Amino acid sequence: MKSSHSTRFLFGWALFGLLIGGAIIIYTHVDFKNLIRLPSHNIKNHDSYAKAVNKAAVSVVSINAYRLVKEEPALLPGSKKLRRNDQPVFKIRPNKGSGVIISTDGYIVTNNHVVTGAQRIEVMLHDGRRLDAQIIGLDPDTDLAVISIPLKQLPAIRIADSNSTRVGDIVLAIGNPFGIGQTVTQGIISATGRDRVGLNTYENFIQTDAAINRGNSGGALINTQGEILAINSAIYSQTGNYLGISFAIPINLVNDVVKQIINNGEVVRGWLGVEGVDLNAQMLKRIDLPNIQGVLITDVFDRGPAEMAGVRVGDILTHINKKVIRDTRDVLNAIADGRPGDKVQISGIRERQSFETQAVLEQRPKE
């Protein structure tokens, strides 16, 4: 009796399930039959940056810059004294970074901080080949360097006009973060013309939120056409890790530095021969010129271009070549844009009176 009841119960649920299942099958069949079919090309051409990455990735290399690092001798346990007869130990350690092939003849641009001081530089190409590289020239003032490898017909990256970049443009960063292998990250241009960051002597950064970490330095920041816009250089971080603010050197500035290094072995910049400080509220109050922008000259080099032009300590420079001077960085950039022999027009204030003079730039001395 109990068994018969159970059989009917199970059969009832099975039949109910079959009916429901049939209903689902019929409903599903009708639903799919009436779906609007999308053209196949819309599926194939979905949003992707694969083409851009494929164009540029072959031109991005990984770099191991081997340096001799001094390790201090170990201390005696529980003491501040060295072990007897212990000598400093020197070890070779790799500094990992990235680089970009900018010429089919084997020239590669990277950051100065990646390769400076290296005893040996190894470059790994996109296809896995490893070659030793030599330094062609360094420019610490912009944190750029040019190295070369003994190969021809290399895939040089396509170059964009970095002056045409806009805040909000999509960008892709290609490099070798933490030495794990070539990696692509995506973001936007957050700002252009970033200076006063305190990283380099000459600054004109593109800021991006594309993830850049250790090892990305010297890699490429590209647009969605696979053209390079900048060389990834640094991050703003209190921890040493990516926090959403990264800086890259615009390719137009990079090109100027690279050409000078390849042609001259160094970068030649103009020099005025002055030192100064930014004006602040206290200074302006003291001289009773509250609305003046400029730089107060605190030192003039003997027989330098500025002294020959009559610039004196205590002068306030307000314009160079008719460009407004806001602070010392503006003076530095305005003079560095010139070349030895160039004439620059200087305007300023001396003892509350306006003055103008002309100076002939000389070559900026090495530090």
Distance CA 100, CA 57 (A): 9
Q: Quick check: is 143 catalytic?
A: yes
**Is 113 one of the annotated active-site residues of the chain?**
yes
**Does the annotation count 217 as an active-site position?**
yes
For residues 172 and 191, the answer to whether their CB atoms sit within 8 Å is no
Strand partners, 275: 299
Element holding 276 (H helix, E strand): strand 274-278
What is the bridge-based pairing of β-strands 89-101 and 60-71? Answer: antiparallel
Active site residue: 162, 217, 233, 347, which one?
217
pLDDT in tens, 92-111: 888 999 999 999 999 999 99
**What residues does CATH 2.30.42.10 cover in the chain?**
270-363
CA–CA gap between residue 342 and residue 97 (Å, rounded): 37
What is the per-residue pLDDT across 190-214, written as a single tens digit (0 to 9) for each?
A: 999 888 777 888 888 999 999 998 8
User: Which residues have a Cβ under 8 Å from the Cβ of 48 and sit 6 or more positions away?
Assistant: none
Model's pTM, two decimal places?
0.76
Catalytic, out of 98, 113, 141, 190: 113
Look up the CATH superfamily of 270-363.
PDZ domain (2.30.42.10)
Selecting among 141, 143, 209, 315, the annotated active-site residue is 143
Where are the CATH 2.40.10.10 domain residues in the chain? 53-72+87-148, 162-264
The CATH code that applies to domain 53-72+87-148 is 2.40.10.10
Per-residue pLDDT of the chain (367 residues; tens, 9 = 90+): 444 444 443 334 333 343 344 444 333 343 444 444 444 444 455 579 999 999 999 999 999 999 988 776 665 566 555 555 566 778 888 899 999 999 999 999 999 999 999 999 999 999 999 999 999 999 999 999 999 999 999 999 999 999 999 999 999 999 999 989 999 999 999 999 888 777 888 888 999 999 998 899 999 999 999 999 999 998 877 666 777 899 999 999 999 999 999 998 999 899 999 999 988 888 888 888 878 889 999 999 999 999 999 999 999 999 999 999 988 888 988 898 888 999 999 999 998 899 999 999 999 887 6
Residue 107 CA to residue 124 CA, distance in Å, equals 14
Class level of CATH domain 162-264:
mainly beta
